[in-house]
Structure 1
Amino acid sequence: MSFALKYAPKTLDDVVIGSQTLKNRLSDYINDRDLKPLILHGGVGTGKTTIANLLPDAIEGKKAEVTRLKAVEFNSINDVMQAFGDQTMFYQVFTINDQKRNYIISNEINFTPKAAIAFRDVIDDMIGHTQFIFTTNYIDQVDIALRDRSNCLAVPPVTAKDWLFRAQWILQQEGIALPDDQLLKVLTTQLQVSSSNRKLLERLEDFVRSVRNPPSNPGGIIEVAPTPEPINPLMAA
């Protein structure tokens, strides 16, 4: 199993977040101090989708039921109304399974202009009981009125120091010990190439593989050089 799957965060506390501002704002949602729609934006692989998927569980204190949207499928007002027309009243009054809130998550919310107008009305009708969580790599392309209704939180790339504790834990699970300064070099080198958390996990996986199967021993088998037989002095004439 790849490290990206094996060590994928199970809870929001497992996610490597370097920004204290982002941590504080997420805490506001978890502690019911903020109910506005949330737009998480930033570069590829910084953890936006992971945070979006795990935030409802953190708010509920248990596994939450969520509805997932694909904004690319909403091209017109009719598309939006077909998706929400029968549910808006329910979401105004009830929550699923006695949850604190209902949850709707959507990645890359690049609605067409007409669909965006209809979706604004949906949000206004459902915001009392429904937590909307959106993610995007391109915040400037998101409908300006939707941005105005939402908290737009940047998810910046993390640093090697941010990753150190989690990376050491992963290596410990793999039975490998490495001093912090050496591991920081591995993490720093990778983050200079790509800020993606996925790529960093791939680098850790490659590192573990190289430790277990060094180039001089590609098969991972410990080879013992044969011991020469002792020379019998009586036979050495």
Structure 2
Amino acid sequence: MSDFIFPNAEAKDTVDAYVLGGEERPLIFHGTNGTGKSLLQRLIPNAIEQRVASLQVVKCADLKSADDIHDLYGRNKYFNRTFTIDGQRFNYIIIEEFFMTNKKMIDALKIELDQTLGTDLTILSTNRFEKIDYGIVSRSIDLELIPCEPNTFFPHAKKMFISEGIVYDDQKLLKTLEVTYTLRRDNRKYYQAIDSLFRTI
């Protein structure tokens, strides 16, 4: 978690609330591509457990029915409320690329979110937050992850050069990040730009 680059204080404070045990409601990450949504879905459970956590990871498109939703959470609710996988603080349900329009599936998910609160931590990621059913949103904490601005990403970029033993002018590096941000606001583009610099030095 220490290497994750938070775009702002709100994002860090929200994640810290989960890691430090102050929050257990479902969490919805939303925003454009390349902002770290999928990465955080995995980092948060590891940070909570202080080790590599056991996760159930599924893409939303692979869930075809209400039964699939119930199967994802497990049908033996008494067992789930009494035990967690590997003695973890939570059972972790990770649903990627969340977008659901089937009413029966949405209702099934609402039921599961209610019944597993406190034992399961559901973390959703989506690029279509505005399309998510209000009943799911109201049960959750939602956090928009935005692309990091150049000044925010710069310290991490600087560390990458230091770790490679490469001396590079700070102003030139910052200018590269600024140009990259102007062309495409996607954190992955920063890494591509830095990789290009490495290959030219």
Instruction: Judge same fold: TM > 0.5, yes or no.
Output: yes
How much has 1:174 moved relative to structure 2? 2.2
Secondary structure of the 1:203 match is: helix
Q: Which of 62, 84, 101 is the equivalent residue of 1:95? A: 84
Unaligned ranges ≥5, structure 2: none
Letter in 1 for 2:10: T
Secondary structure of the 2:75 match is: coil
* Number of aligned positions between the proteins: 200
Segment of structure 1 superposing worse, 175-184 or 43-52: 175-184
Cα distance between partner residues in 2 of 1:171 and 1:18: 21
Contact 2:110 2:136 (8 Å CA) reproduced: yes
How much has 1:125 moved relative to structure 2? 1.1
Letter in 2 for 1:173: S
Secondary structure of the 1:133 match is: strand
Q: Deviations over 1:124-162 (max 9, x none)?
A: 111121111111111011122111100011111111111
Cα distance between partner residues in 1 of 2:6 and 2:149: 9
Secondary structure of the 1:44 match is: coil
Cα distance between partner residues in 1 of 2:163 and 2:65: 49
Cα distance between partner residues in 1 of 2:103 and 2:62: 13
**Over the residues paired in the alignment, what is the CA RMSD in angstroms?**
1.4
1:136 matches 2:130 = no
Q: Which residue of 2 is the match for residue 109 of structure 1? A: 98
Contact 2:59 2:95 (8 Å CA) reproduced: yes
Contact 1:88 1:122 (8 Å CA) reproduced: no
Superposed counterparts of 1:124-163, under 5 Å? 124-163=114-153
How much has 1:53 moved relative to structure 2? 1.1
How much has 1:100 moved relative to structure 2? 1.2
Q: Deviations over 1:44-85 (max 9, x none)?
A: 101111111101111111111111122212232233234444
Cα distance between partner residues in 2 of 1:100 and 1:134: 18
Q: Which residue of 2 is the match for residue 49 of structure 1? A: 38
Give 1 or 2 for the bigger CA radius of gyration: 1
Secondary structure of the 1:14 match is: coil
Segment of structure 1 superposing worse, 146-155 or 76-85: 76-85
Letter in 1 for 2:79: F
1:76 matches 2:65 = yes
Distance 1:130 1:85, change over 3 A: closer
Cα distance between partner residues in 2 of 1:210 and 1:38: 41
Secondary structure of the 1:135 match is: strand
Q: Which residue of 2 is the match for residue 22 of structure 1? A: 11
Q: Which residue of 2 is the match for residue 197 of structure 1? A: 187
The percent of aligned pairs where both chains have the same amino acid is 28
Q: Which residue of 1 is the match for residue 49 of structure 2? A: 60
- If asked which structure has higher relative contact order (CA below 8 Å, sep 6+), I would say 2
Letter in 2 for 1:29: Y
Distance 1:147 1:66, change over 3 A: same
Contact 2:73 2:93 (8 Å CA) reproduced: no
Q: Which residue of 2 is the match for residue 224 of structure 1? A: none
**4+ runs of 1 displaced by more than 6 Å?**
none
Contact 1:110 1:143 (8 Å CA) reproduced: no
Cα distance between partner residues in 2 of 1:20 and 1:38: 17
Letter in 2 for 1:19: N
